[in-house]
Structure 1
Amino acid sequence: MGFQLTTKDYVDYIKKAYERIHAQGDYITELDSATGDGDHWTNINMGFEKLVEAAPELEAMDLFSAFKKISMIMMSVIGGSGGVLYGSAYMEAAKTVKGKEALESADVCAILEAMMNGIMTRGKAHPGDKTMLDTLAPVVECYKACLAEGADEKTTCEKVKAAAEAGYQSTMDMEAVRGRAYYQANKGVGHLDPGAVTMYYQVDTLMDCIASKLEG
């Protein structure tokens, strides 16, 4: 058993992630309006929409070039700090795929870890701050543990999906350390972080795409 993700496969994942994020507009905006300024969905949806529009161009590139282009698009299109953070995430991830024609399981883990590190460095944020890192950090930890244990890839996908879900759910009880929720009296306690939720959609969709490769 095993899988390989080409640039086209990764772009197909981007399309599916966009569909999922796009469909949750009202929900994400409601979440963000409770603790922020209500524009998270508009911004990230626009970013993914532009990636889908660029799909033919991205598919023709090698992985390194595609990831750099994704970084540039997200940095220029997504408003606020999100654009800088997603741009930084993909720029760091690009470094891990340089020279590769396809991604295998360890490569996907390396991408997710690079994204996490890029966001932490650029945003000066950490897990526990009530951000998208609270989805990404447990995902990376789980993925690395699965690789170390020699878990099969189907099991790895299932465990990573569960880690992503638990991660975003954990933000409900956290106090915000940054962002607009920080300035609220309750620091956002009792509300999910919208950035953690949309990151969950991305990780969950990526694992589904990998699982479909394994079944194929």
Structure 2
Amino acid sequence: MKKIKILFALVLTFSLISIFGMKSEAKIIVHSGLTTDAFKNNYEITSFSKKPFKVKFLNTKPTRKSTGVYINANNYGDGAGLYLYDIKKNKSTYKGSLEQTFYFKKNGTYIVQIRDNETDEWLGDVTINIYNIDKTPPEISIGSPRYHEISDGYMVRFSAFDDDTGVKYIYYPSGRREYLGKKMLGASPRFDATPGTYTIKAVDNVGNVAVNTFKVSKEDYKNRRKLKKF
């Protein structure tokens, strides 16, 4: 998912990218035959059924964990049950009583059916499209070094980017932590380096962590004045 790379700013010391258009946003579509009390972003619901039933989301924010969906269709009576329909296999699997919570671990489309336990007659279903599960860490890219003429330094440029939930923290090799908040896709900072090994870490807004370690050799540092100037 992390395909877009950040272009390094040549003027600003610290460039920030807005989180507008985050992937985890989704519209909600409701059809007749369904009632719910937890409609928010990150979910899309469609329902086709003979009677109304209730759907409630236990968590509506981006998460690394599973998304819980509570379904109550008790008004269909004792002879019916809830079934999870496998779209690829075209098969319904009995999951139990008409009132229960389903936990989904991955983004995707899920169909829960209400069927008669004896005749297998279809009585209704709800399609749940989940977008809010993010298990992908940010992307860290190391750019081409530059010669920092003012400090006579070897300038390292890097980017940290996350197009799902955004980058919350950047940890510099010095140990300093930069807080970006909840509305930034990422940043493209830079710093002067000397010969050695450096580690950069980025954490997104649901806790996924990315680490990138790189080296600056003595030879590269010695030849820094031959690099393109900053």
Q: Which has the higher helix share?
A: 1
Which category of TM-score, normalised to the shorter sequence, fits these structures? under 0.3
| Structure with greater contact order relative to length (CA < 8 Å, sep ≥ 6) | 1
Structure with greater Cα Rg: 2
Q: Which has the higher strand share?
A: 2
TM-score, structure 1 normalization: 0.27
